[in-house]
Amino acid sequence: MKPKVAWQVGRFDSWAGAQRLLFGRMYEDVEIEHEAFQGKGRVFCIASAGDTAIRLAGEHEVVACDINPVQLAYAERRASGSPAEMGAAERVMSLARTLLPLAGWRVSVLREFLALSNVTEQIFFWRNHLDTWRFRAGFDALMSRPILRVMYAAQFLSFLPPSFGAVLRKRLEKGFARHSNASNPYARALLLGEGCESPPPRAGNIRFVMADAASWLESCPCRCFDAFSLSNILDGAESAYRSRLLRAVRRAGTKEAIVILRSFAEPPEALNGNHADHDRSSLWGIVEVRRTHIL
């Protein structure tokens, strides 16, 4: 059966054409995986731009899988020490950043903000210099469905909460209230597009696999992975695919295996084990860290 996965076409838009490099770096805080997978052995992860695989390969044997061959080849190059490149996500963000002066955001002010390490000072600075009505209006307009629809196919928007701009601003503010800017590479990447250099190469401990995650996990021996980092691959996937992937993860995981799944969606009220607030990228509504047997 062919997987119904929005990411399979390797493009954000709905135009026919070649698969593209979508992510030049990852916006998922790999320290969550690093901590949750302590003492674990083999890890299955989504390759994306390679940051998670490369960081985890220091302590684990890693299989890095991606359905987009262009993205997989890039992750493999980075793991061998090649420099970072810009993907479609970075191009969109870079275009959005050209509008920042309209909101009164100057690079010198952003640098001053990013140099702070005291979260109380950060929130004071955010509220007094950055969270202006012009920023709020502009950001919410950029994150509105009609504008996002110009760049993203419908499947990539279906899971976003209503008033996504306001929701995302709230997540960012929570992040600035919790994580020190000075030591937060994700804040620098989002606000200035900097800090995207490749991590130290670790190709030796990573096996790169071009496949759909569910199909590949179904084909591997039972109980062969101790941990799974699945990015947000279920955002935009059909519900049948969700069930299939989670079944494949349960089968391929050892008894005590851990799975980490992210989503841009807002968390349901009763969600236990949500680590979204711990993720220094501050973008996620859900970062689930679970034992695979309770999936």
| Residues at the site binding ligand SAM, with contacts judged by CB under 6 A | 5, 7, 22-23, 26-28, 46, 48-49, 65-68, 71, 212-213, 231-233
Query: In which region does residue 273 sit, left (phi positive, over 0), alpha (psi from -120 to 50) or beta (all else)?
Result: left
Q: How far is the CB of 175 from ligand SAM (least distance, A)?
A: 15
Give the residue with the Cβ less far from ligand SAM, 42 or 244.
244
CB 210 within 8 A of CB 69: yes
Q: How far is the CB of 124 from ligand SAM (least distance, A)?
A: 29
DSSP string, 149-209: HHHS-GGGTTTSPSSHHHHHHHHHHHHHTTS-GGG-HHHHHHHHS---PPPPP-GGGEEEE
Q: How far is the CB of 38 from ligand SAM (least distance, A)?
A: 22
Helix (H, G, I), strand (E, B) or coil at 145: helix
CB 126 within 8 A of CB 113: yes
Identify the residue whose tokens are 């076409």.
9
Q: How far is the CB of 121 from ligand SAM (least distance, A)?
A: 28
Give the residue with the Cβ less far from ligand SAM, 27 or 164.
27
Q: Which helix (H) or strand (E) holds 62?
A: strand 61-66
Give the residue with the Cβ less far from ligand SAM, 46 or 160.
46
By beta-carbon distance, which residue lies closest to ligand SAM? 7
Cross-strand pairs, 23: none
Q: How far is the CB of 66 from ligand SAM (least distance, A)?
A: 5
Give the residue with the Cβ less far from ligand SAM, 7 or 152.
7
Give the residue with the Cβ less far from ligand SAM, 114 or 190.
190
Which residue, among 67, 79, 15, has the nearest Cα to 217 in the 3D structure? 67
Q: How far is the CB of 54 from ligand SAM (least distance, A)?
A: 12
Q: How far is the CB of 3 from ligand SAM (least distance, A)?
A: 6
DSSP string, 30-57: HHHHHHHTTT--EEEEE-TTSHHHHHHT
The whole-angstrom separation of Cα 266 and Cα 159 is 9
CB 76 within 8 A of CB 55: no
Give the residue with the Cβ less far from ligand SAM, 65 or 289.
65
Give the residue with the Cβ less far from ligand SAM, 48 or 130.
48
